[in-house]
Structure 1
Amino acid sequence: MRRCSHRFFSDPGRPPASGGSVEELIADIALIFHWPPAVLLEMELAELRMWRELAVSRWNDINRVAE
């Protein structure tokens, strides 16, 4: 399987996992876990940040370039 050579979530222009708007957190989580926004809008900010960190980890693991 071919892996991507870039790391979407490590783009220097993106806010860190603990920052950014609620909309950015929701978009990143939904991209990886395919959860509907209605479910994510019910979560507290701390929970959204935790799930985004997990989404970042999953994305980077899946798209890691073999050395």
Structure 2
Amino acid sequence: MGDIALVYHWGPSEMDRLGLPELMDWRNRAIKQWNQVHGAKAET
């Protein structure tokens, strides 16, 4: 959840509404966006 909070600036109240599969999807999106912005290599 920290990845989501860092990238999208969502607090606990926004994330509490999401189920686990949706949270995991948003976490993966946040990681991809962070890596694109900060130049990290893509995962293989």
When the two structures are superposed, what TM-score results if normalisation uses the length of structure 2? Answer: 0.82
Q: Percent identity?
A: 38
Unaligned runs of 5+ in 2: none
Runs of 4+ in 1 over 4 A off after TM superposition: none
Does 1 or 2 have the higher relative contact order (CA < 8 Å, sep 6+)? 1
The structure with the larger Rg is 1
Partner residue of 2:15 out of 40, 51, 54: 40
Structure 1, unaligned runs of 5 or more: 1-25
Matched length: 40
Could you state the TM-score of these two structures normalised by the residue count of structure 1?
0.56
